[in-house]
């Protein structure tokens, strides 16, 4: 299904006219297609199954998390992973079953570990020996744990979202003796149940063989732990990073085809190495929500510079659209009132923040834009709301969920009172 449909004078999300949302809620405005998210989840669930291997899908909540989103994930039967106290308490407040929560991150605070243990989360992923020492000083009853492994797989993605280079901050090296020593310490502790190994090789990955390389290295490690140290690994978490289409340049792989290939490859490799089949998990985030989201802006001005560069200024900024400045990410957009109009020029879409680098889209083909019209930026469902800030004291937009026929506010637009609420005058 398509997240939006385009007509001569408007865009629709399911049966909801996006112009009506602008009239009611203003701009900037995050809009999420709830029906599309549920469709994506069901597609992943139907694709990530195997006749001989148990599988689980954890939603990577860092991509997009609100109370409503946590409820949706639970309704659709997924597990969830969190990386901070804020994410953890959001899913708990939403009523998410604690046994379906996986808690990871490279520097969990003492408080975060306390709260995770208090709520009996399903799994804690240990990143380093210091975290292990902190955990064993707190744990008083059985806690399932995994260890994050860095296999050194080249994921062919942006430097900032590649997480398994040998100098990455995440996890323990697959080649390190200290990694084996950490796992041995865990297995000998009376209150820690070592379940398996966790890995995440990066984001926006378009080559499915990267996951086969990852699986091969991790299964060889599992084999070595069994043969050399009599340690059984029952769970293998491959992480996420499945690429999505932002522009015509992107070519994501077909999960229905390649999930089967990956699971078959794991089966064959286990047979080759004489291993029992582990319980295999993945952690999609962006691939479930990115294309479900659009951001709507009002066009406030246009400008042609002395060098003939053409700008369109919108009422948002890098504060609500960080990925272009951070990752040099590319996006596509259309004018809400004329989505089918012929392209006339290429424009730079710039925000209102006081930064030269506050560019949302560097090259955006559009018909001649008019002040007062609205620009719809596509594929903003992941890492937009979750990365939003108050830079320049700009306010965070509302978030709207659109079902088949209705729209509802799931995050209210921030107000000036909200912005000032934590400030203290001395």
> Where among 266, 287, 308 does a domain terminate?
287
> Where among 287, 312, 332 does a domain terminate?
287
Please give the pLDDT value at position 134: 97
Give phi and psi for 127, each to the nearest 5: -95, -30
Radius of gyration of the chain (CA): 23
Domain count for the chain, please give it. Answer: 2
Does some domain include residue 425? Answer: no
Please give the pLDDT value at position 160: 45
Average of per-residue pLDDT values in the chain: 96
Give yes or no: residues 227 and 341 share one domain.
Answer: no
Q: What angle do CA 254, 260, 266 make, to 5 degrees?
A: 130
Q: Enter the tokens of residue 52.
A: 């001989």
pLDDT digit string (tens) for 363-378? Answer: 999 999 999 999 999 9
CA–CA dist 393, 386 (Å, integer): 17
Give yes or no: residues 256 and 370 share one domain.
Answer: no
Please give the pLDDT value at position 152: 84
> Where among 287, 319, 343 does a domain terminate?
287
Give yes or no: residues 254 and 335 share one domain.
Answer: no
Give yes or no: residues 332 and 271 share one domain.
Answer: no
Does some domain include residue 426? Answer: no
Give yes or no: residues 39 and 28 share one domain.
Answer: no
Using H for helix, E for strand and C for coil, what is the string for the chain? CCCCEECCCCEEECCEEHHHHHHHHCCCEEEEEHHHHHHHHHHHHHHCCCCCCCEEEEEEHHHCCCHHHHHHHHHCCCEEEECCHHHHHHHHHCCCCHHHEEECCCCCCHHHHHHHHHCCCCEEEECCHHHHHHHHCCCCCCEEEEEEEECCCCCCCCHHHECCCCCCCCCEECCCHHHHHHHHHHHHCCCEEEEEEECCCECCECCCHHHHHHHHHHHHHHHHHHHHHCCCCCEEECCCCECCCCCCCCCCCCHHHHHHHHHHHHHHHHHHHCCCCCEEEECCCHHHHHHHEEEEEEEEEEEECCCCCEEEEECCCCCCCCHHHHHCCCCCEEECCCCCCCCCEEEEEECCCCCCCCEEEEEEEECCCCCCCEEEEECCCCCCCCCCCCHHHCCCCEEEEECCCCEEEEECCCCHHHHHCCCCCC
Q: How many residues does the chain have?
A: 426
What CATH number should be reported for the domain holding residue 10? 2.40.37.10
pLDDT at 155 over 90: no
Mean pLDDT on 86-106: 98
pLDDT digit string (tens) for 236-257? Answer: 999 999 999 999 999 999 999 9
What CATH number should be reported for the domain holding residue 183? 3.20.20.10
Give phi and psi for 310, each to the nearest 5: -105, 125
How many other CB atoms are found less than 10 A from the CB of residue 341? 14
Please give the pLDDT value at position 331: 98
CA–CA dist 338, 9 (Å, integer): 5
As annotated, the active-site residues are 354
Q: Enter the tokens of residue 49.
A: 């199954």
Does some domain include residue 304? Answer: yes
Please give the pLDDT value at position 279: 98
pLDDT digit string (tens) for 47-72? Answer: 999 999 999 999 999 999 999 999 99
Characterise 161 by phi-psi region: left (phi > 0), alpha (psi -120 to 50), beta (else): alpha
Q: Which pLDDT band holds residue 164 (cuts at 50, 70, 90)?
A: very low
Q: Which pLDDT band holds residue 1 (cuts at 50, 70, 90)?
A: confident
Does some domain include residue 253? Answer: yes
Does some domain include residue 342? Answer: yes
pLDDT digit string (tens) for 24-53? Answer: 999 999 999 999 999 999 999 999 999 999
Give yes or no: residues 106 and 238 share one domain.
Answer: yes
Pairing of strands 29-33, 293-304: antiparallel
Residues spanned by the domain of 311: 5-32+290-420
Q: Which pLDDT band holds residue 153 (cuts at 50, 70, 90)?
A: confident
Please give the pLDDT value at position 161: 43
pLDDT at 404 over 70: yes
Give yes or no: residues 275 and 411 share one domain.
Answer: no
Mean pLDDT on 399-420: 98
pLDDT at 422 over 80: yes
Give yes or no: residues 256 and 322 share one domain.
Answer: no
Q: Which residue has the higher pLDDT, 55 or 175?
A: 55
Residues in Cβ contact with 190 at an 8 Å cutoff, skipping those fewer than 6 apart: none
Give yes or no: residues 60 and 77 share one domain.
Answer: yes
Q: Which residue has the higher pLDDT, 350 or 156?
A: 350
Give yes or no: residues 63 and 161 share one domain.
Answer: yes
Chain position carrying tokens 């808690």: 103
Please give the pLDDT value at position 3: 94
Does some domain include residue 397? Answer: yes
- Quote the percentage of the chain above a pLDDT of 70: 97
Give yes or no: residues 304 and 186 share one domain.
Answer: no
Residues in Cβ contact with 10 at an 8 Å cutoff, skipping those fewer than 6 apart: 17, 18, 19, 336, 337, 339
Give yes or no: residues 42 and 162 share one domain.
Answer: yes
Does some domain include residue 76? Answer: yes
Q: Which pLDDT band holds residue 293 (cuts at 50, 70, 90)?
A: very high
pLDDT digit string (tens) for 180-207? Answer: 999 999 999 999 999 999 999 999 999 9
Q: Enter the tokens of residue 367.
A: 């018909």
Does some domain include residue 294? Answer: yes
């Amino acid at each position: 299904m398509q997240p939006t449909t385009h007509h001569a004078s408007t865009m629709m999300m399911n049966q909801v006219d996006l112009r009506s949302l602008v009239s009611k809620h203003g701009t900037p405005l995050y809009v999420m297609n709830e029906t599309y998210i549920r469709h994506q989840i069901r597609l992943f669930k139907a694709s990530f199954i195997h006749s001989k291997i148990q599988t689980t899908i954890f939603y990577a909540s860092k991509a997009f998390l609100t109370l409503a989103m946590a409820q949706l994930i639970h309704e659709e039967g997924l597990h969830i992973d969190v990386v901070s106290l804020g994410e953890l308490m959001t899913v708990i407040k939403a009523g998410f079953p604690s046994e379906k929560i996986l808690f990871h991150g490279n520097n969990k605070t003492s408080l975060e570990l306390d709260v995770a243990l208090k709520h009996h989360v399903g799994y804690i992923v240990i990143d380093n020996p210091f975290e292990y020492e902190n955990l064993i000083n707190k744990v008083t009853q059985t806690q399932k744990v995994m260890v994050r492994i860095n296999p050194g797989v080249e994921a062919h993605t942006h430097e900032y979202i590649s997480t398994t280079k040998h100098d990455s901050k995440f996890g323990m090296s697959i080649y390190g003796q200290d990694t084996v020593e950490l796992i041995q310490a865990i297995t000998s502790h009376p209150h820690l149940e070592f379940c398996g190994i966790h890995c995440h090789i990066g984001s926006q990955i378009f080559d499915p063989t990267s996951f086969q390389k990852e699986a091969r290295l991790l299964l060889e490690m599992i084999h070595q732990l069994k043969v050399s140290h009599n340690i059984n690994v029952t769970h293998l978490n491959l992480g996420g990073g499945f690429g999505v289409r932002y522009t015509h340049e992107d070519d994501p792989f077909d999960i229905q085809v390649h999930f089967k290939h990956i699971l078959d490859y794991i089966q064959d490799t286990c047979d080759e190495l004489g291993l029992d089949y582990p319980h295999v998990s993945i952690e999609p985030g962006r691939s479930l929500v990115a294309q479900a989201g659009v951001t709507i802006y009002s066009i406030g001005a246009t400008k042609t510079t002395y060098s003939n560069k053409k700008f369109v200024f919108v009422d948002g900024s890098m504060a609500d659209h960080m990925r272009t400045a951070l990752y040099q990410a590319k996006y596509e957009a259309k004018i809400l009132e004329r989505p089918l109009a012929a392209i006339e020029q290429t424009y730079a879409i710039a925000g209102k923040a006081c930064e030269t680098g506050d560019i949302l889209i560097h090259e955006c083909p559009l018909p001649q834009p008019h002040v007062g019209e609205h620009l719809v930026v596509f594929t903003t469902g992941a890492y937009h709301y979750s990365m939003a800030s108050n830079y320049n004291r700009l306010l965070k937009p509302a978030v709207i969920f659109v079902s088949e026929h209705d729209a509802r506010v799931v995050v209210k637009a921030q107000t000036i009172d909200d912005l000032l609420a934590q400030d203290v005058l001395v």
